[in-house]
């Protein structure tokens, strides 16, 4: 499974958050695309429209389990995807900004 650590992500890298709605609303990385894993297949087109054509899709969830499954699915579809090791828990712990659904400081649940 291709994996990247949070510290290796640059501010402009494409980030796909596959956590559920209540997790997203509590806190997420600004600029990330949100497509919950439970809706992923039905909403797959949202990803293909938003993802960079020649770039990597960095997939993130709370700790890395769900994002690993989605990254593997994307790889099987021919998309350059990697799992973000440790997920949003490591994102927040490393001091990266987390915002809520209103753009205010958020928290990872």
Whether 87 shows a pLDDT value over 90: the answer reads yes
Catalytic residue, candidates 18, 57, 61, 84: 61
Of residues 96 and 11, more confidence is placed in: 96
pLDDT in tens, 62-71: 999 999 999 9
- Residue 20: the pLDDT is 98
Whether 23 shows a pLDDT value over 90: the answer reads yes
61 is catalytic: yes
Task: Assign 3-class secondary structure to the chain.
Answer: CCEEEHHHCCCCCCEEECCCHHHHHHCECCCCEECCHHHCCCCHHHHHHHCCCCCCEEEECCCCHHHHHHHHHHHHCCCCEEEEECHHHHHHHCCCCCECCCCCECCCC
The model's pTM:
0.97
């Amino acid at each position: 499974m291709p994996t990247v650590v949070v510290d290796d992500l640059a501010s402009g890298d494409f980030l796909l958050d596959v956590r559920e709605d209540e997790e997203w609303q509590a806190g997420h990385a600004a600029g990330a695309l949100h497509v919950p894993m439970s809706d992923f297949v039905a909403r797959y087109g949202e990803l293909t429209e938003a993802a960079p054509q020649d770039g990597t899709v960095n997939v993130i969830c709370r700790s890395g389990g769900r994002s690993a499954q989605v990254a593997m699915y994307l790889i099987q579809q021919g998309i350059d995807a990697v799992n973000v090791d440790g997920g949003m828990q490591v994102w927040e712990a490393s001091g990266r900004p987390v915002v809520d659904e209103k753009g205010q400081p958020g928290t990872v649940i």
